[in-house]
């Protein structure tokens, strides 16, 4: 009896997400690469599957839609940002810690523009994704805690620390976004982004303390 030809497993495994080593990670990595190339709006879930080397149906085993996939990417980004802010050492002057944290924020953002675009893209509503919302709040809480230390040391006046942390976050986000979009260089501003964050936060802290 003639032997049946054995079908190579490799191509089947590549098409079948169930046999893909780590499908969820492969999809998030593929999405991250596409965000970097095309922006969060510039690709489809089918393109993500193609980039990951799996069938068009495979992403739906982990993600309901593209927004949910982008939320997973953004969550990873916020976790990494939280780690970067948490790595900022303590300083004798609590205001210096705020400034150092601002530098770390901007430096992380401009070196991870793919994550940053996913984290703050309009395509993902944080309220629809609890894990993403929690990860974002943790990153904000790092800055909030540093501001609170300034208040405890009477470097800043007492009150709701969010009244300072909100403007501080806005400044940092603006510097990061304008740098990633190359808008600063278009108007002739070529300063080092962390140095811009340093000056912006120094001015904010000075204005708040006087």
Write down the pLDDT at residue 21.
52
What is the three-state SS of the chain? CCCCCCCCHHHHHHHCHHHCCCHHHHHHHHHHHHHHHHCCCCCCHHHHHHHHCCCCCHHHHCCCCHHHHHHHHHHHHHHHHHHHHHCCCCCCCHHHHHHHHHHHHHHHHHHCHHHHHHHHCCCCCHHHCHHHHHHHHHHHHHHHHHHHHHHHCCCCCCCCCHHHHHHHHHHHHHHHHHHHCCHHHHCCCCCCHHHHHHHHHHHHHHHHHC
pTM across the whole model: 0.86
pLDDT (tens, 9 = 90+) of the chain, 210 residues, equals 444 333 333 443 445 444 555 999 999 999 999 999 999 999 999 999 999 999 999 999 999 999 999 999 999 999 999 999 999 977 789 999 999 999 999 999 999 999 999 999 867 778 889 999 999 999 999 999 999 999 999 999 999 999 999 999 999 999 999 999 988 888 888 889 999 999 999 999 999 998
Write down the pLDDT at residue 132.
95
Domain positions in the chain are: 18-63, 65-207
Write down the pLDDT at residue 2.
43
Pick the CATH number of 18-63 from 1.20.140.10, 1.10.10.60, 3.40.430.10, 3.40.1190.20: 1.10.10.60
Helices 113-120 and 66-86, packing angle to 10 deg? 120
- What is d(CA 143, CA 168) in angstroms, rounded to the nearest whole number? 8
Write down the pLDDT at residue 200.
96
Domain 65-207 fold: Tetracycline Repressor; domain 2 (1.10.357)
Write down the pLDDT at residue 6.
39
Write down the pLDDT at residue 129.
92
CA-closest candidate to residue 169, choices 187, 144, 190, 148: 144
Give buried/exposed letters for 2-36 (b at 16+ CB in 10 A, else e): eeeeeeeeeeeeebebeebeebeebbbbbbbebbe
């Amino acid at each position: 009896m003639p032997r049946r030809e054995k079908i190579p497993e490799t191509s089947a495994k590549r098409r079948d997400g169930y046999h893909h080593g780590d499908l969820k990670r492969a999809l998030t990595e593929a999405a991250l690469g596409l965000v970097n190339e095309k922006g969060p709006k510039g690709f489809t879930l089918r393109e993500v599957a193609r980039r990951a080397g799996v069938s068009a149906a495979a992403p739906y085993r982990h993600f309901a839609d593209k927004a949910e996939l982008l939320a997973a990417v953004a969550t990873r980004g916020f976790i990494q940002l939280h780690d970067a802010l948490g790595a900022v050492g303590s300083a004798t002057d609590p205001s210096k810690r705020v400034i150092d944290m601002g530098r770390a924020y901007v430096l992380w953002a401009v070196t991870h523009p793919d994550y940053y675009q996913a984290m703050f893209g309009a395509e993902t509503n944080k309220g629809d994704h609890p894990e993403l919302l929690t990860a974002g709040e943790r990153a904000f809480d790092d800055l909030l805690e540093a501001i609170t230390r300034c208040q405890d040391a009477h470097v800043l006046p007492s009150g709701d620390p969010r009244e300072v942390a909100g403007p501080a976050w806005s400044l940092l986000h603006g510097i990061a976004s304008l740098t990633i979009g190359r808008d600063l260089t278009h108007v002739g501003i070529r300063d080092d982004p962390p140095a811009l964050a340093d000056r912006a936060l120094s001015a904010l802290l000075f204005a708040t303390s006087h």
